[in-house]
Each structure stands twice: as structure tokens, then as C-alpha cells.
Structure 1
């Protein structure tokens, strides 16, 4: 399968709307990398759709969600920050990580019960989460979409330093392997089970996005 690089302005459901034209069914994969200032400013999905944002730690997932999905995203980093604000600073994250994950998935469950479109931060190492979201999307008559941030390991490490929260070498290596496998599969047109489409973003394309919304 050939990854599509046609200029576009907004993704509508599983298609891309070009001003002045009727939206046409889009290929399952849209590549928005290397567009040199021609990236879309908004991605628009159907009202019952679900969106997963994935990529390396430090690739900019949380930053993108806070800018483009205010109030409509479920981000595990937000849950971690809330716990960290209430606990002693010297307490290792590993000790309360199970509570963070439990609270994160409980919040995701509540968001899904509303029946509205939801954007979810996924680190890429939990495929069962995507399987859960795919089932939920089918149940509500929508589609699960994947937004994959493709940045170099060096860029991701720099992003971790900027936010003051790094991951261990072992954990980062595990993320690199799983993200590389996912990226390679998507570039071949092989989407994760249950995903209806994927959008590939580099840092410039992610920075250009100002809105991820659900219409209809």
C-alpha cells in the first residue's frame, strides 16, 4: 500500500476535506510528515469516533493534546501530575504508578460512557488499550483512528529534558522498539487491529495542529 502524501487541510472522519471539494474517502494511512509549512491546522473526526495519540516519550503527545484537545482528552500524564502534586517529591514514581494507571483507566472508562468523541494518550506499549478502544468505537458506530508522532530518539530525549521528566534507558529502549515496529507497520499500510485509519505526524506537523475535534 502506498502512503498518501496529497496536500490537505483537515481530516474529516476517515477522509480529508480539501476546500472547494467534496470530501472523498481517504486511504487508511495519511502521511503529514515533511510538508514544509503545508500541514493542516485541524483534524476533524466523526462524533462517535475515538482517537489514540502515540509515540515515544518526549515526542510531544501531551503538549499536542493540551493545545489541540482542551477538555476532550484523556492523558495519563495529567493523572500522574495530579498524584505527584499531592505526594512527597522524593517518593519514587514506581511506588504509586499502579494507582496512577488505575485512576487513568477509570477516567477513560467514564469518558467513554458519555458516548462522545475522545482523544487518548497512549505510550504505544499497551496494545490492549487500543483493542479496548476499537471495541468501544465499533459498539458506538464509530471508528478508531491512530495519530502517530514520528520523531527521532534524540528529539524525544530533548523533550523529556524540557519537561524535567525522563524515563530510564531500559524503558526508553522498550518504547523505541515498540514504536519502531508500529511505525514500520503503519508505513506498510498494516494498521493495528481495530484501527480504521492512521495519520503520521512529524514534530513540525504536530506543532502546526491547533485543533482536534469531533463533528456531526
Structure 2
């Protein structure tokens, strides 16, 4: 069942989402929606591994002084390899930060979950294009305009589908979150 959590912007609200043990949880949404910020306020009822491509980018950035665009592809490939490795070998929950507006990305994550025998839960952090753009500006990391526009078009379609009760293929559990509804963080319960 798709759940839409709403809360007052005045009172910080912790969103609580029930997941199965060892779940692969994908936190998806527009680039700049606040996924990384939300993961920084994640609380889980069992051991959790959090994977974000920013972890790879920051590791590389600390060692070389090249513009991000020169190694961006490597960051995304390394991030996906890390997801597969942890899906196969890490205990506990696995939480993956990935925009997932592309069907191919969701399919890749589905295959990783199936190969590792992990239950699947898809979290969508809903944000408008303006909110996501503000988020990119605040973190001083803008994605290319045409790439962002593609994400926005696909996210708009997904938002409409979520409101109609749609679940991405292979993802039996879906929760739609709002920025206001997660202002106090995110708790995963098993």
C-alpha cells in the first residue's frame, strides 16, 4: 500500500516506515530533493548500511584535484558496484540513495535485491522541481540542466502514478514521503 505522509512544517516530524529484515530500501527522488539530508537523520531498528554516491565522490575528491565531471562516470559505476557487493554480503538493512527516476535504474536495483534474496522497499521523497533546484544550489552541486529536466519529467509522471496507487515493477512495498513529513528524520522499523 502506498502511504503519503504529511505533516506541519512547524513541528519536526519523524517519518516511521516498517520494512522487513535485511530489506534493500531505495530512497529515491529528484536530485536535490533532500535524500542525503534525510539519510543523515536516519534511525533504524537493526544494523543498517547506507550507500550514497556522494560517499564515493568525497573519497575521490579528497585524493585528487580534478573537476567532478572528469570522474563522474567512475563515481556512479563504483556506487553501483558497492550496492551489489553490500546487497550480497552485508548483514542488516541496506539503504541506497539513488534518484531512480529511470526505469533501468529501478530494474538494476531490483535485480541486485533478487540476487541477494533481500526484500524490497521503495521510498520516494517527493519534492517539487523548484525545491529540488533550491536543494542543489544549497549543497553547491548542480546537475546539468538537461539531465535535471529529464529527471523532473519522469518524476512528474511517477508522482501522478503514485497518487493512483502505482508501484514500480518488482517493488512490493512503496512509501511516498514529503519533505515536511520527514522534517525530523526517518526511522526504519523491522
TM-score when scaled to structure 1?
Answer: 0.75
Uncovered stretches (5+) of structure 2, i.e. residues with no partner? none
> C-alpha separation between the residues in 1 aligned to 2:163 and 2:93?
26
**Cα displacement string for residues 56-78 of structure 1 (whole angstroms, at most 9, x for unaligned residues):** 11110011112205862111122
The residue number in structure 1 matching 2:16 is 42
- Please say if 1:53 is aligned against 2:27: yes
Tell me if the contact between 2:125 and 2:179 (Cα under 8 Å) persists in the aligned partners: yes
Residues of 1 paired with 2:181 and 2:24: CA distance? 20
| Runs of 4+ in structure 1 over 3 Å off | 37-41, 135-142
**1:65-96, Cα deviation, whole Å (9 max, x unpaired):** 122058621111221122222221xx332221
Q: Does 1:101 align with 2:68?
A: no
Structure with larger RCO (C-alpha < 8 A, sep 6+): 2
Larger radius of gyration between Structure 1 and Structure 2: 1
Among candidates 130, 144, 148, match of residue 154 of structure 1: 130
Q: Where does 1:1-216 land on structure 2 (aligned, <5 Å)?
A: 28-33=1-6, 35-36=7-8, 37=11, 39-68=13-42, 72-88=49-65, 91-114=66-89, 116-138=92-114, 142-213=118-189, 215=190
TM-score by length of structure 2 reads 0.85
- Contact kept? 1:133, 1:144, Cα under 8 Å: no
> RMSD value over aligned CA atoms?
2.3
User: What's the CA shift string for 1:35-58, capped at 9, x where partnerless?
Assistant: 325955432311132111111111
- In 1, Cα distance between the equivalents of 2:88 and 2:119? 16
Matched length: 184
Quote the Cα distance in structure 1 between the aligned partners of 2:18 and 2:94: 12
Judge conservation of contact 1:44–1:212 (CA < 8 Å) in 2: yes
Q: How many angstroms apart in 2 are the aligned matches of 1:94 and 1:132?
A: 23
SS of equivalent residue, structure 1 residue 195? coil
SS in 1 for 2:147: helix
Out of 120-129 and 138-147, give the one that drifted further. 138-147
Which runs of no fewer than 5 residues in structure 1 stay unpaired? Answer: 1-27
